[in-house]
Structure 1
């Protein structure tokens, strides 16, 4: 009788502890197939660079002045970001059932997954910020082409490029993972509610800004906080998705 009464308390106590070994085990679990986090995004980035260089060579061969080509408005530098949403989805859907099978708690799993997201985001932020400096130092890879020195990266230093890339990558990873937790817990019904709820919120914000004529004020405020401030908001959104994902996955059922 005593053993029966005290067993649940022991389980509850152990499940409430932070277990570094189990958390690191989850991180290593995500690296079993390194192509998901590293190889495929690198191939996408490399492919976008190759296409950009080919376009630049065509323009140079045609005698078009490179300063008039608009490379600084190219979105090629963001090409891996769209795939990273898929990475967030795959990271959870492929590993969550297996992790629970070998005894990981949902808390261990989510913390380990978050650490993996941070490590992957740090790596690609370092790579892109460094490639930006190389591109500038070589005068656009020797032909005046700009892929990394585009959009908000124009004129940015290494730290700004690193920080903004890190914040954006972390956001898209946690969006993918968070959406997957919703599907695991509430299936398609939950997905539809989140989708339509998000659309309603966005339309409500647009309507509010329009009817109150606040677009200009919003633009001025964003300009006042600068690029670092804007991407600090992006990082805050990533953390919000991380917290929301944890709250959902606590009761999620693996497929």
Structure 2
């Protein structure tokens, strides 16, 4: 009885350490996780600055407001969100077999990975919020441009906490979506990806057909406008939670293969 109790206590003591070890494992490739996204984002910003210079140097003061109005719908910064999904997918593929090879349980692995994703989401959301604040303070980088204060992120007048929440919601969604897709690959390989892709295509096509045949696109637009950036960020937490739970249950049955 004493031996069993000691074994359970030993296992319980190792679990937090293993979770933290998995967290650190997800941050090992610092170049891809912490450096490359900002290099590319800086390049995208530089391209946008060049575009703003060209646009505003060729429009009069009367048309400047219209040009800025159109820039509120800029999607230039969405690259970094897509990149987070790719990072999450790569993390599962590369670290899942490695971690299990060192006797890490699937539960500890996924908890450590989820905490690592949460940390990344907070870090990148804070950085994007800072960039949005600089953009707002500098009147669009001195040119009236809009990249980090677009409508999707709350618009140019959104409070700091609103921007942070919207950014965090988007990052977490992309991270857990990427990890779920990778978990499907780890569990069912090509067949799983084919079924997943077909299911997504059918759902998207079905929704498009439904809204088109019922003439509901106006209602869809009204729904987005009514909810706003904060409302949409709140709604996004639902598929994020579904993706996180799905990834856990899929990986709990996955077998690493070479």
- Normalising by structure 2, we get a TM-score of 0.86
1:1-255 map, 5 Å: 19-62=15-58, 65=61, 66-69=64-67, 70-153=70-153, 154=155, 155-255=157-257
Aligned 8 A contact 2:73 2:152 in 1: no
Report SS of the residue matched to 2:149.
coil
Unaligned runs of 5+ in 2: none
Structure 2 vs 1, CA of residues 60 and 207 (structure 1 numbering), >3 Å: closer, same or farther?
closer
> Matched residues in 2 for 1:59 and 1:205: separation?
37
> Matched residues in 2 for 1:60 and 1:219: separation?
30
TM-align CA RMSD: 2.7
How far has the Cα of 1:202 moved from its partner? 2.1
How far has the Cα of 1:213 moved from its partner? 4.2
Aligned 8 A contact 1:175 1:238 in 2: yes
Structure 2 vs 1, CA of residues 67 and 217 (structure 1 numbering), >3 Å: closer, same or farther?
closer
> Matched residues in 2 for 1:151 and 1:139: separation?
16
Structure 2 vs 1, CA of residues 106 and 64 (structure 1 numbering), >3 Å: closer, same or farther?
farther
How far has the Cα of 1:60 moved from its partner? 4.1
Report SS of the residue matched to 2:104.
coil
Aligned 8 A contact 1:160 1:228 in 2: yes
Residue in structure 2 matched with residue 3 of structure 1 by the alignment: none
Q: For 1:53-88, what per-residue CA distance to the aligned partner results, in whole angstroms no more than 9, with x for missing partners?
A: 122223344455543433222211212112222111
How far has the Cα of 1:52 moved from its partner? 1.0
Unaligned runs of 5+ in 1: 1-5
Structure 2 vs 1, CA of residues 228 and 47 (structure 1 numbering), >3 Å: closer, same or farther?
same
- Normalising by structure 1, we get a TM-score of 0.87
> Matched residues in 2 for 1:80 and 1:44: separation?
8
> Matched residues in 2 for 1:147 and 1:38: separation?
20
Aligned residues: 250
